[in-house]
Amino acid sequence: MSDQSAISQNDRKPRGSVFPAFARSRPTRPGETYGVPGQGNTTWLSVATIVALIFIWWAITAAGLVKPLFVPSPQSIVQKFIDVWFNGYTGAPLWQHILISTARVFGAFLLACVIGIPLGLAMGMSPIMRGIFDPPIEIYRPVPPLAYLPLMIIWFGIGETSKVLLIFLSVFAPIALGARAGVRSAAIEQIHAAYSFGATRWQVMHHIILPSAMPEILTAMRIGIGFGWTTLVAAEMVAATKGIGYMVLSASQFLQTSTVIMGIFVIAAIAYAFDMLMRFLERRLVPWKGKM
Amino acid sequence: MALEIREASVIYPAQSGRAPVEALSKIDLTVEEHDFVVALGASGCGKSTLLNLIAGFLSPSSGKIMLDEAEVSGPGADRSVVFQKHALLPWLNVRENVAFGLKLRGEGATAYAVADRFIALLGLKGFEKSPVYALSGGMQQRVGIARALTCDPKILLMDEPLGALDALTRERAQELILDIWKSTGKTVFLITHSVEEALFMGTRLIVMSPRPGRIAHRFDLPFSRRFLNGTPARQVKASPEFIELREEVLRIIFADEEQAA
């Protein structure tokens, strides 16, 4: 971290170009390093980008260039958030919408972990399991969830089952395939070492294969829950009366653009917070990732 | 008598139009107790295959491997392996890595006490709680050796254990392994492609030749004893006798290479 910030400080010295990676190569001066193109800290640039985007947004709406129906002002989004938080949307307060959507996504996510991780590991370790489960997963995986949503409704009705199942299906494939790929992470030397201590096949799986698959399983979980949020809105298209996805869809039918945008930001915020949590878990659970 | 290999061959079956490969051809080798046997040879001469045979990771196409009169039929705790790298478990700390073998065998109660003894023996005291991925290559390798010793194997198999170390660390590690060999009295089978390392460490040297893999020459070596009797390592390696044998072995290896090619 300290190395990176040192480099980025050098990059920001006012000589040459704003984009040193694209500039013509020039001799280094004392204290400068030739490194991998693209390294350096981006926090400030990212914050500046966000501030600039909000400012442009605000400037356009404040100048009256676009009608609020199409692009409401940033203030009105904040106002809408406060309004829905205290007064609710279609009879339910915002936290209930958030709670039910989160419950759907996390319910589906947990189910996908509980089934997908063991199944993926089994697929990685047994050609029989791989032979059986590879074709169905690979066939349904690339199909967009919206395509089989009608089928879910015909089979499971318009209740919670079809919603959670739809999200589950989109989360399940990446998690199972990630766990399956993780099985290959163990080095043959690690496996041989365990066998030479007299380990059984089961002990090798438990003490070598499973822990070395952990980094890839955690990555797969991060990717998986991302798919879950993507599918949420599709799942709440049908006969939902609560949920952030429902709120966004129904608000769009009444041209309440500020509610739509507010809902999108709420989903983004929850998804981002969970991604941060997963990254934190990754650092705590697999600190060795990429180091050996 | 500790280990006996009788006419062991390993033949990899023909693959898509290619002829079958004879990785090892009729190997005969007897390793006595407390021997330090070093296998030396260019890449592809079958020395790793030979080690895998002894370890039991591979079974011979024909012939036999006997350890104390019993035929080897798979990996077991009477033969511990030290690998070149990638064999430590990064999710365990140094102490847990060293105790790993004992815990696998259900000796959990005494595992850490035994582990601590070997941690001390290999100069790793104070690093028990360190994560292994934070250690230098040389220290990682010492953890690997400590782990292999905990189960009190009859024979220690070392598969290019120092191949990934830098030159200076490597010299120190050679001396350390010889000291350990002396203090534990283990039988050792070590693979290397460094002629100097082979001559310095072994009591017996087998030089292997490729296509098909076989033992081409055998030497008895006096140098490790000289080091253990007090002569400094560099002085041993700089002696005219050592240098002469080193050049002779190198000549043999190059000649074998040309013949096989």
Domain range for residue B187? 3-78+155-260
Q: Does B30 touch chain A (CB under 8 A)?
A: no
Q: Does B60 touch chain A (CB under 8 A)?
A: no
Same domain, B62 and B179: yes
Beta-carbon contacts of residue A261 (< 8 Å; ≥ 6 apart): A72, A77
Q: How far apart are CA B232 and CA B175, in angstroms?
A: 10
- Residue in chain B lying closest to A199 (CA): B104
B89 contacts in A (CB within 8 Å)? Answer: 190, 207-208, 211
Q: CB-CB: which of B77, B83, B85 is closest to A198?
A: B77
The closest alpha carbon to B225, from B210, B244, B239, belongs to B239
Same domain, B109 and B46: no
Q: Does B161 touch chain A (CB under 8 A)?
A: no
Q: Note the pLDDT of residue A110.
A: 96
Helices (H) and strands (E) in chain B, counts: 9, 10
Same domain, B54 and B168: yes
Q: Which of B152, B186, B206 is at the close of a domain?
A: B152
For chain B, the domain total comes to 2
Element at B198 (helix H, strand E): helix B195-201
Q: How far apart are CA B40 and CA A75, in angstroms?
A: 76
- Residue in chain B lying closest to A284 (CA): B91
Same domain, B23 and B64: yes
For residue A208, the distance in angstroms to the closest alpha carbon of chain B comes to 8
Q: How far apart are CA B32 and CA B3, in angstroms?
A: 7
Element at B253 (helix H, strand E): helix B240-260
Q: Are strands B36-40 and B187-192 parallel, antiparallel or unpaired?
A: parallel
What residues in chain B have per-residue pLDDT under 50?
none
Q: Which of A195, A197, A283 to mutate to test the interface with B (most CBs of B within 10 A)?
A: A197
Element at B159 (helix H, strand E): strand B155-159
Q: Note the pLDDT of residue A38.
A: 76
Q: CB-CB: which of A189, A195, A288 is closest to B83?
A: A189
CA dihedral sign of residues A134, A135, A136, A137 = positive
**CATH number, domain A84-285:** 1.10.3720.10
Instruction: For residue A205, give Cα distances in angstroms to A199, A215, B87, B193, B246.
Output: 10, 16, 15, 33, 45
Q: Note the pLDDT of residue A203.
A: 92
Instruction: Report the SS3 class of residue A24.
Output: coil
Q: How far apart are CA A245 and CA A235, in angstroms?
A: 8
For residue A215, the distance in angstroms to the closest alpha carbon of chain B comes to 11
Q: So where are chain A's domains?
A: 2-71, 84-285
Same domain, B12 and B95: no
Same domain, B126 and B26: no
B88 contacts in A (CB within 8 Å)? Answer: 190, 292
Same domain, B74 and B90: no
Summarize pLDDT for B147-181 with one digit per residue, the tens. Answer: 998 888 889 999 998 888 888 888 888 998 999 89
Start-end of H helices in chain A: 2-11, 43-62, 74-87, 94-125, 127-140, 145-156, 160-182, 188-196, 201-204, 210-235, 244-253, 257-285
Same domain, B112 and B23: no
A291 contacts in B (CB within 8 Å)? Answer: 90, 133
Q: Does B147 touch chain A (CB under 8 A)?
A: yes
Q: How far apart are CA A81 and CA A259, in angstroms?
A: 8
ipTM for the assembly: 0.88
The answer to whether the Cβ–Cβ distance between A197 and B104 falls below 8 Å is yes
Q: Note the pLDDT of residue A12.
A: 46
The closest alpha carbon to B93, from B138, B139, B158, belongs to B139
CATH number of the domain within which B64 lies: 3.40.50.300
Q: What is the DSSP string of A147-161?
A: HHHHHHHHHHTTSHH
The answer to whether the Cβ–Cβ distance between A211 and B87 falls below 8 Å is no
The answer to whether the Cβ–Cβ distance between B81 and A286 falls below 8 Å is no
Same domain, B142 and B207: no
Q: Does B85 touch chain A (CB under 8 A)?
A: yes
Residues in chain B: 261
Same domain, B104 and B9: no
Same domain, B134 and B112: yes
Q: Note the pLDDT of residue A11.
A: 46
Same domain, B148 and B162: no
Q: CB-CB: which of A190, A194, A291 is closest to B104?
A: A194
The tens place of each residue's pLDDT in chain A, 292 residues long, gives 344 444 444 444 444 445 555 555 666 677 777 777 777 788 899 999 999 999 999 999 999 888 888 899 999 999 999 999 998 888 889 999 999 999 999 999 999 999 999 999 999 999 999 999 999 999 999 998 889 889 999 999 888 999 999 999 999 999 999 999 999 999 999 999 999 988 889 999 999 999 999 999 999 999 999 999 989 988 988 878 899 999 999 999 998 999 999 999 999 999 999 999 999 999 999 998 887 7
Q: What is the CA radius of gyration of chain B?
A: 19
Q: Which of B108, B134, B152 is at the close of a domain?
A: B152
Which residues of chain A approach chain B closer than 8 Å at the C-beta? 187, 189-190, 192-199, 203, 207-208, 211-212, 214, 286-288, 291-292
A197 contacts in B (CB within 8 Å)? Answer: 77, 80, 100-101, 104-105, 151
